[in-house]
């Protein structure tokens, strides 16, 4: 089901900076960016330390996430607005994680940190100080929003599913194992999951970092056979870029059955005995 209010603009953000019912969270790839300047009252979230389990590879636990949100001053009736660098890479991942945990009153700030700076919103280096919130997370997660490795493997070669690889074409073809600007390490093998189509996450973004108009987005994915009629599973390298695409497909286009495979290529590409393709996508 589409969430028509999933996005807010910088103009909306400017008007709600002092709204006690709105809490801004900044989640950056560069975990030091928050300290250089952020929206007044925004709480910085370190995705490495605060949104992942400290021992095993998984999302942070429910109790830890609830405590984190309460520390940010979030109540059950608060509107949570997420934004960050790299056109909201990890802000989108945090958004998906909150929705997975059953939270609905969450928004993404269109254009992220770059748009905030370009539009001249006030920035501060003062740490956020809020009274502790009282939000209580639902006890059940939304498993329909998440895909797991065995489900992905079991669906290879079948019908009724669109598998979308949102990485760069070079990663998809098996020439790189990570984005070109990052260290080339992670999975044991390069390539893509058989049957996947390559629709890089960045093709959904306009020059100013905001999302392209809805009709352009619908045409973009429709041209690759992704129309929302079938289940869609998106993946990337570690799950943050695919969260960005999940947001486009599920929250903006309203495709009902979209799941994020957050294990993504660093998991799949290191599995023993699973099929891998390299080069361009094979014809289906």
Active site residue ranges: 236
Burial of 134 (C-beta count, 10 Å sphere; 0-12/13-18/19+): middle
Which helix (DSSP H) or strand (DSSP E) does residue 196 occupy? none
Tokens of 82: 């997420």
CA distance linking residue 144 with residue 246, whole number of Å: 12
The Cβ-side half-sphere exposure at 191, using a 13 Å CA radius, reads: 17
Tokens of 224: 């690759």
Secondary structure, 3-state, 164-187:
EECCCHHHHHCCCCCCCCCCCCCC
Residues in the chain: 284
Burial of 45 (C-beta count, 10 Å sphere; 0-12/13-18/19+): buried
Expressed in angstroms, the distance from the first to the final Cα of the chain is 28
Dmax (CA) for the chain in angstroms is: 56
CA distance linking residue 280 with residue 217, whole number of Å: 22
The Cβ-side half-sphere exposure at 31, using a 13 Å CA radius, reads: 7
The secondary structure of residue 201, as a DSSP letter, is G
**Helix, strand, coil % in the chain, rounded to nearest 5:** 35, 15, 50
């Amino acid at each position: 089901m589409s969430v028509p209010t999933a996005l807010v603009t910088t103009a909306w953000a400017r008007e709600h900076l002092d709204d006690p019912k709105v809490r801004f969270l900044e989640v950056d790839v560069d975990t030091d960016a928050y300290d250089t300047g952020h929206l007044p009252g925004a709480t910085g979230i370190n995705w490495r330390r605060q949104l992942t389990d400290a021992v095993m590879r998984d999302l942070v636990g429910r109790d830890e996430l609830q405590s984190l949100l309460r520390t940010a001053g979030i109540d059950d009736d608060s509107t949570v607005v997420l934004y960050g660098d790299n056109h909201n890479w990890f802000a989108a991942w945090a958004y998906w994680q909150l929705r997975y945990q059953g939270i609905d009153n969450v928004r993404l700030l269109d254009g992220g940190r770059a748009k905030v700076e370009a539009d001249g919103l006030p920035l501060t280096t003062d740490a956020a100080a809020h009274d502790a919130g009282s939000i209580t997370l639902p006890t059940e997660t939304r498993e329909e929003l998440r895909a797991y490795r065995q489900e992905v493997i079991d669906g290879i070669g079948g019908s009724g599913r669109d598998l979308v690889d949102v990485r760069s074409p070079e990663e998809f073809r098996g020439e790189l194992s990570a984005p070109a600007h990052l260290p080339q390490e992670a999975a044991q093998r390069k390539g893509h999951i058989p049957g996947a189509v390559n629709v890089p996450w960045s093709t959904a973004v306009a020059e100013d970092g905001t999302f392209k108009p809805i009709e352009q987005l619908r045409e973009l994915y429709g041209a690759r056979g992704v129309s929302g009629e079938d289940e869609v599973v998106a993946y990337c390298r570690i799950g943050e870029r695919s969260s960005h695409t999940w947001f486009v497909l599920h929250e903006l286009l309203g495709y009902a059955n979209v799941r994020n495979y957050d294990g993504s290529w660093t998991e799949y590409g290191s599995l023993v005995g699973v099929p891998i393709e390299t080069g361009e996508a094979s014809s289906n």
